[in-house]
Structure 1
């Protein structure tokens, strides 16, 4: 049985030899820059060693300042952290990739990025607007670049040495297969919505077979209805093992071989999300076999536009 300390400190080696991804990660999608800085520092102080960022979040500078402040205290060094950030949809054209990457480096105040992800497989019209739209409010997509061409641009970043690993986010299994089939440098990480209501078992099996780390965002289901942490199977396990329902769902994520990201501005919840402990094998089986609700909460995989699906209940 994995002990509490080893579970929350789990690191998953990347198949390309570029390091190991801390399974327990902190996401920085926090709108307010002051709150971003405080939450980032709180996460690092309780033990998180993976920070997940993105150009689109608009707060890389706040995360960078928080990291530098923590580094200045001397207890945590840059090499102790795994930092991920992402290329936004408007920068998919090859000539825009390096400038976008360098801009993220500057904002994060780092010399290198541990992992750089294509935020979504959808290319938007290039420009300064994050969400370019036409007169009817519809997103303007860019048909002048393919996902493979964008991927090859990321491969060149790895060749240059300032990006240690690359991957994909918000991608379907079908699209992932297409990239893996032709990529010179295979994806190291795939980040998708996943939780007990959206376990993505087929995608996880494929990632395992190809040495790719599957990283779950929204591992608690965005706190939307139907709530993952209110599921009777999960709440019953939580009572039995003396943990919160959130800790049960997060432990399940690590023990089935995935990494996860949680986001909070509450110091109490940040600590709760880090202090997970291993579940007994029967609890893991109960979640796999007993949780029957299936629900996707975020529509980004369908459109490239992050956003919640306006429905409640299972599908």
Structure 2
């Protein structure tokens, strides 16, 4: 029996944004690769598999390689620009308001697109402005920029929306408290909040706040980034997968969409790319088990504390 014969539409879920008439495909493809050389081919594989939501960033240093793949499919006419949802991010060294528009324009140029569907502040931490993306002092400590506040940067993003080349704006790697501060004073509310989230870090409180304000919660590392303790080896997840004849990854990703969360997965392997999009609705019993029976709580990426992205290696839980 072919997969398509029983495909139930969960993978086609789209969440409406609170600004404008744009919808974000819940199933997204991240473009952060250790080996930048795989970027163009991986994006092409993802497009072939059916991904239409792509998450990029100035900091990933491969927007131009993503742009090559996008340009190819758009010029071939097989996919229209309106079908794609493209996100990119403002890096920490460009938080000063006068640096925001040039950074945005540079991302558009590299991606070879006329507009961006969603522009995110990569982290709420401003770094020393300049060309060095990772400014450090003589002791190796990050040099932060105390000369700009997050709301000043946000106001510059609001102006991008006013100008029409940026469909929506949001925040990444932000805590609930910091998000509340922005929502309270923003003229244009955040449309998207991107944070680490998976069955070991469900972020229920943040999700509830986002849903109250019409903000889409977008999960990165929805499979736990292969770190220990391994989400995909959790007995609750593997038990459900066995029962439903799905992979543990498909169970964790379906859980995300069904609870109202969009997700990003990244792979350069065509079989994994296909597996990650072939999700189906889980029975309510499975949703309940994941919520109630998984008690492990782990944050794998400390970026919310420092603004420096990076997954922390952990020893296997005893």
Residue in 2 that maps onto 1:23: 26
Q: Is residue 31–residue 59 contact of structure 1 (8 Å, CA) maintained in 2?
A: no
Q: Gaps (5+ residues) in structure 1?
A: none
Residue in 1 that maps onto 2:105: 102
Task: Sort the Cα spacing of 1:314 and 1:170 in 2 relative to 1 into closer, same or farther, 3 A.
Answer: farther
From 299, 302, 305, the counterpart of 2:305: 302
From 263, 273, 278, the counterpart of 1:275: 278
- How high is the TM-score relative to the length of structure 2? 0.97
Residue in 2 that maps onto 1:57: 60
C-alpha deviation, 1:174, in angstroms:
0.3
Q: Is residue 132–residue 140 contact of structure 1 (8 Å, CA) maintained in 2?
A: yes
Whole-Å separation in 2 of the counterparts to 1:72 and 1:236: 45
C-alpha deviation, 1:75, in angstroms:
1.4
Q: Gaps (5+ residues) in structure 2?
A: 1-5
Residue in 2 that maps onto 1:256: 259
Give the RMSD, CA atoms, in angstroms: 1.2
Residue in 2 that maps onto 1:196: 199
C-alpha deviation, 1:30, in angstroms:
1.2
Whole-Å separation in 1 of the counterparts to 2:71 and 2:161: 24
Q: Is residue 293–residue 314 contact of structure 1 (8 Å, CA) maintained in 2?
A: no
From 42, 46, 60, the counterpart of 2:45: 42
Task: Sort the Cα spacing of 1:313 and 1:33 in 2 relative to 1 into closer, same or farther, 3 A.
Answer: closer
Residue in 1 that maps onto 2:177: 174
Give the 5 Å matches for 1:1-315: 4-312=7-315
- How high is the TM-score relative to the length of structure 1? 0.97
Per-residue CA distance 1:107-153 (angstroms, 9 max, x = gap) = 00000000000000000000011110000000000000000000000
Whole-Å separation in 2 of the counterparts to 1:221 and 1:239: 19
Kindly tell me the number of residue pairs found equivalent between the two proteins. Answer: 313
